[in-house]
């Protein structure tokens, strides 16, 4: 993006003799920096006017802009949204403090840190397994963490938490937003707080409240050091760190919301608006950043560079990423310069970039349409897998037949080639069954309806489109028939997720069946409903062990992890050769794919290795609520099938079969074999 190089070095660059502050605004008529006493963020000790250059960059040098200084901006201009009396945050401030009245001040950050040689793990995409978690919630209830570190960055990186992640077998922890955020004014009035953090105040400062009390008391430099220390320890353990980032909107909300930064600096440039100044909100959060403006593009790129290089994080998940790809006409463009620059920027090479590929504006659903280099959350995968193991089973019980056959499920299982181009391949798909937003996996199997009364919105919030099934009783049950079905459904969902082509994402707690009591929008619950429990019942420990086993089987069988899509009649390197058989061991017919009464498929995948040994597997999916007979297929080169996992039972020893053998498969179950 050579056209915006004049926007370099925005924010403060400090030295021993002071520093330079640079701010962009196209519509301001004057900007003044206010510098506060080092010991009192209420008392202004100096003011300095900024000078404007030909590119609308305003700058000033001042001897008091040294490390540890607090400052604000006061901006004058034409229009109701300028108010020179307001103290505004520098959009590039790398630290924040609050004064005695709770107002935020920008802080000149001390970024010194000894990384001690720690390196990014750089996990290959085909080996990546993402674990989505909350920076506070993951350790808040962990009894092994000293009390003063529970719910903090330090608690997340405690040896017990790292050991749990390594024991499970995930490679990459994806944190819900850790940029400094605040709660919405509406939520605060209701007595709630925004626990998830999708309401960003600053794109460069880490969230203060996730640091230990000692770090908070010591100031923003100590908070940043604790964050970097967390990254360092996770990297030393071989674990990657991905940040969930919210560049689509800010915490300034709608035009009547708080003015803290962008709105007071240059509202007309930073936010999408119609010619009369009406906000164009494609995020549902009151405002949308205008990424057709080069300065906004540069802000986002600079923030990414900072976190990826100075803080050493390994990747980013972009909330409502379709908003970032909207141009001046507010329509999504897959060739948008920002989307291209994020994956082409030399300073961001090797960094994983994951899109939530939709927003709530017109034309906002864009799954599969992001440029080469982007990974995407695959919502079609999520919905179809839930349907296959839950909604379709409910329909079969109610009407005698499921609503769909197995074909739609299997094409998503095999990498969603109908969604992602051949050039992008199966690893463009981030597969998930659940996420922070929605039911947990346990609740998918236990509730037909959301139960969000505790959110204070009369159960109006949260989606009604859950694709869930309670198996005959709404909520907790002691009926062994119901609990047995629910737990098998969870095993099937986990098995599907962890054995599919693509990159799997596990939501923290699903590996042991965590429940949110039917709340599918727990964003405002900073309590035990959302925090990760560390005490588990026997069945939960069993589910954790099954999750471990599935992750181990994924690592050990490269046929489950194709890098590329195969082509019929060709041998494509690192693209598993796939063959599909019906219950009788014959090649699948159209009826086998489409009939709601069939719902059985046998899937043989053989790797075409470049760096790993040859591997071949057979996976059988049985989607009927009746016991079915399956004849193992006769396939060239296969002499034996060795059972590796059965979702209906615990394996106690080798179980070897020959092609042509007839197996009895339990209702709604999966079996994975090594095919030799």
Q: What is the pLDDT of residues 300-319, one digit of tens each?
A: 999 999 999 999 999 999 99
pLDDT at 649: 83
Catalytic status, residue 577 = no
Closest CA to 298 of 56, 635, 565, 593: 56
Beta bridge partners of 671: 620, 646
Please give the Cα distance from 355 to 337 (Å, whole number).
15
Closest CA to 5 of 297, 311, 334: 297
Beta bridge partners of 431: 504
Rg (CA), the chain: 26
Which listed residue (132, 356, 392, 628) is catalytic? 356
In which band, very low, low, confident or very high, does the pLDDT at 653 lie, cut at 50, 70 and 90? low
Please give the Cα distance from 33 to 60 (Å, whole number).
8
Please give the Cα distance from 558 to 605 (Å, whole number).
9
- In this prediction, residues 606-627 reach a mean pLDDT of 95
Whether residue 651 is predicted with pLDDT greater than 90 in this model: the reply is no
- In this prediction, residues 207-226 reach a mean pLDDT of 98
Whether residue 415 is predicted with pLDDT greater than 80 in this model: the reply is yes
Q: What is the pTM of this model?
A: 0.97
Q: CA torsion, points 254, 257, 260, 263, in degrees to nearest 10?
A: 40
Which listed residue (110, 319, 387, 628) is catalytic? 319
Q: Quote the percentage of the chain above a pLDDT of 90.
A: 96
The answer to whether the CB of 603 falls within 8 A of the CB of 619 is yes
In which band, very low, low, confident or very high, does the pLDDT at 4 lie, cut at 50, 70 and 90? low
Q: Can you say how many angstroms the Cα of residue 285 is from the centroid of all Cα atoms in its chain?
A: 19
Site of tokens 């005959």: 472
Q: What is the pLDDT of residues 422-460, one digit of tens each?
A: 999 999 999 999 999 999 999 999 999 999 999 999 999
Whether residue 201 is predicted with pLDDT greater than 60 in this model: the reply is yes
> Which contacts qualify for 585-591: CB closer than 8 Å, 24 or more apart?
585/630, 585/631, 585/632, 585/633, 585/634, 585/659, 585/660, 586/633
In which band, very low, low, confident or very high, does the pLDDT at 650 lie, cut at 50, 70 and 90? low
Q: Where in 78-145 does DSSP place strands (E)?
A: 95-98, 104-107, 130-133
pLDDT at 352: 98
Q: Which residue has the higher pLDDT, 16 or 76?
A: 76
Task: State in Å, rounded, how far the first CA of the chain is from the last one.
Answer: 52
pLDDT at 148: 98
Please give the Cα distance from 562 to 516 (Å, whole number).
34
Phi, psi of 383 (to 5 degrees): -70, -40
Cα within 13 Å of Cα(276), Cβ side: 1
Number of neighbouring beta carbons within 10 Å of residue 591: 11
SS3 helix, strand, coil % of the chain, rounded to 5? 30, 20, 50
Whether residue 1 is predicted with pLDDT greater than 50 in this model: the reply is no
In which band, very low, low, confident or very high, does the pLDDT at 20 lie, cut at 50, 70 and 90? very high
- In this prediction, residues 653-663 reach a mean pLDDT of 91
Q: CA torsion, points 301, 305, 311, 317, in degrees to nearest 10?
A: 50
Tell me how far apart the 2 most distant CA atoms of the chain are, in Å.
Answer: 86
Task: Give the H or E element holding residue 657.
Answer: strand 656-657
Q: What are the helix (H) ranges across 238-349? A: 262-270, 294-305, 337-344
- In this prediction, residues 555-571 reach a mean pLDDT of 93
Q: What is the pLDDT of residues 163-180, one digit of tens each?
A: 999 999 999 999 999 999
- The order of strands in the sheet holding 70-77 is 40-49, 28-37, 70-77, 104-107, 95-98
Beta bridge partners of 377: 430
3-class DSSP state for residue 475?
A: coil
List of residues 6+ apart from 576 with CB closer than 8 A: 501, 559, 560, 562, 566, 605, 606, 607, 608
Please give the Cα distance from 121 to 119 (Å, whole number).
6
Beta bridge partners of 123: none
List of residues 6+ apart from 283 with CB closer than 8 A: 248, 249, 320, 323, 359, 360, 361
The second-level CATH assignment, the architecture, of 2-107 is Sandwich (2.60)
In which band, very low, low, confident or very high, does the pLDDT at 399 lie, cut at 50, 70 and 90? very high
- In this prediction, residues 220-249 reach a mean pLDDT of 98
pLDDT at 80: 81
Phi, psi of 218 (to 5 degrees): -80, -15
Q: What is the pLDDT of residues 355-389, one digit of tens each?
A: 999 999 999 999 999 999 999 999 999 999 999 99
In which band, very low, low, confident or very high, does the pLDDT at 16 lie, cut at 50, 70 and 90? confident
> Beta strand 375-377 with 429-432: parallel, antiparallel or unpaired?
parallel
Closest CA to 531 of 565, 560, 508, 561: 508
Least confident of 195-209, 375-389, 473-487, 564-578: 564-578
Instruction: State the average pLDDT for the chain.
Output: 96
DSSP state of 645: E
Please give the Cα distance from 439 to 435 (Å, whole number).
8
Q: What is the pLDDT of residues 478-489, one digit of tens each?
A: 999 999 999 999
pLDDT at 568: 82
3-class DSSP state for residue 455?
A: helix
In which band, very low, low, confident or very high, does the pLDDT at 584 lie, cut at 50, 70 and 90? very high
The answer to whether the CB of 221 falls within 8 A of the CB of 110 is yes
Number of neighbouring beta carbons within 10 Å of residue 406: 27
Please give the Cα distance from 81 to 84 (Å, whole number).
10
Provide CATH code, domain 567-675. 2.60.40.1180
The first and second tokens of residue 231, run together, are 């990254």
The answer to whether the CB of 37 falls within 8 A of the CB of 45 is yes
The sign of the dihedral angle between the CA atoms of 560, 563, 569, 570 is negative
Phi, psi of 644 (to 5 degrees): -105, -30
Sorted by where each begins, the domain ranges of the chain are 2-107, 567-675
Whether residue 6 is predicted with pLDDT greater than 90 in this model: the reply is no
Q: Quote the percentage of the chain above a pLDDT of 70.
A: 99
The first and second tokens of residue 2, run together, are 């050579």
The first and second tokens of residue 144, run together, are 């092994």
Catalytic status, residue 650 = no
In which band, very low, low, confident or very high, does the pLDDT at 55 lie, cut at 50, 70 and 90? very high
Whether residue 3 is predicted with pLDDT greater than 60 in this model: the reply is no
Please give the Cα distance from 674 to 6 (Å, whole number).
58
Task: Give the H or E element holding residue 429.
Answer: strand 429-432
Whether residue 654 is predicted with pLDDT greater than 80 in this model: the reply is no
Number of neighbouring beta carbons within 10 Å of residue 261: 24
2-107 matches 567-675 in fold: yes
Please give the Cα distance from 235 to 240 (Å, whole number).
6
């Amino acid at each position: 993006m050579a056209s915006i190089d004049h926007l370099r070095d925005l924010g403060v660059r400090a030295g021993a003799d002071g520093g330079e502050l640079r701010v962009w605004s196209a519509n301001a008529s004057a900007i003044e920096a206010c510098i506060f006493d080092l010991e009192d963020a209420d008392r202004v000790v100096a003011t300095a006017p900024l000078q404007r250059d030909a590119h609308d960059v305003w700058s000033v040098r001042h001897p008091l802009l040294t490390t540890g200084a607090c400052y604000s901006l006061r901006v004058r201009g034409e229009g109701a949204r300028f108010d020179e009396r307001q103290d505004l945050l520098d959009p590039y401030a790398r630290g924040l403090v609050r004064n005695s009245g709770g107002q935020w001040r920008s802080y000149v950050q001390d970024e010194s840190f000894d990384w001690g040689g720690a390196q990014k793990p750089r996990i290959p995409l085909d080996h990546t397994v993402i674990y989505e978690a909350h920076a506070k919630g993951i350790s808040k209830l962990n009894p092994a963490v000293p009390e003063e570190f529970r719910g903090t960055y330090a608690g997340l990186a405690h040896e017990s938490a790292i050991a749990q992640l390594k024991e499970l077998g995930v490679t990459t922890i994806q944190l819900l937003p850790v940029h400094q955020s605040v709660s919405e004014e509406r939520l605060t009035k209701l007595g709630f707080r925004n626990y998830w953090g999708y309401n960003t105040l600053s794109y460069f400062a880490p969230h203060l409240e996730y640091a230990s009390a000692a770090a908070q008391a010591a100031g923003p430099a100590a908070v940043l050091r604790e964050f970097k220390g967390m990254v360092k320890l996770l990297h030393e353990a071989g674990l990657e760190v991905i940040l969930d980032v919210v560049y689509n909107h800010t915490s300034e909300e709608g035009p009547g919301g708080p003015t803290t930064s962008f709105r007071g600096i240059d509202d007309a440039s930073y936010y999408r608006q119609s010619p009369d100044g009406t906000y164009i909100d494609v995020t549902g959060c009151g405002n949308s950043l205008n990424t057709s403006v080069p300065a906004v593009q540069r802000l986002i790129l600079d923030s990414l560079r900072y976190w990826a290089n100075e803080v050493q994080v390994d990747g980013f998940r972009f909330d409502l990423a379709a908003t970032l790809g909207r141009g001046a006409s507010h329509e999504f463009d897959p060739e948008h310069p920002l989307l291209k620059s994020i994956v082409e920027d030399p300073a961001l090479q090797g960094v994983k970039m994951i899109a939530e590929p939709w927003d709530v504006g017109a034309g906002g659903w864009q799954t599969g349409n992001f440029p080469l280099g982007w990974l995407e959350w695959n919502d079609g995968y999520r919905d179809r897998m839930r349907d296959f193991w839950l909604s379709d089973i409910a329909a079969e019980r109610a009407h005698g037949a499921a609503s769909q056959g197995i074909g739609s499920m299997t094409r998503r299982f095999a990498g969603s080639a109908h969604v992602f181009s051949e050039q992008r391949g199966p690893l463009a798909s981030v597969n998930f069954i659940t996420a922070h937003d929605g039911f947990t996996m346990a609740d998918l199997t236990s509730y037909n309806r959301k139960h969000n009364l505790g959110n204070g919105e009369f159960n109006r919030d949260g989606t009604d489109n859950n694709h869930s099934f309670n198996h005959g009783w709404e909520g907790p049950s002691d009926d062994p028939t119901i609990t047995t079905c629910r737990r098998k459904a969870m095993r099937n969902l986990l098995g599907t997720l962890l054995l599919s082509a693509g990159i799997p994402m596990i939501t923290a707690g699903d590996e042991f069946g965590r429940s949110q009591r039917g709340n599918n929008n727990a964003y405002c619950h900073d309590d035990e409903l959302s925090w990760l429990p560390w005490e588990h019942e026997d069945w939960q420990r069993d589910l954790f062990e099954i999750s471990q086993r599935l992750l181990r089987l994924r690592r050990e069988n490269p046929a489950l992890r194709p890098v590329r899509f195969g082509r019929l009649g060709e041998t494509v390197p690192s693209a598993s050769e796939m063959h599909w058989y019906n219950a009788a061991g014959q090649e699948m017919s159209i009826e086998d794919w489409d009939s709601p009464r069939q719902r059985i498929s046998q899937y043989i995948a053989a790797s075409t290795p470049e760096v790993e040994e040859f591997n071949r597997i057979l996976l059988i999916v049985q989607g009927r609520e009746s016991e079915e007979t399956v004849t193992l297929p006769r396939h060239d080169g296969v002499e034996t099938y060795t059972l590796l996992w059965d979702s209906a039972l615990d394996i106690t020893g080798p179980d070897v079969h020959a092609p042509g053998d007839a197996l009895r498969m339990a209702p709604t179950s999966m079996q994975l074999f090594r095919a030799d």
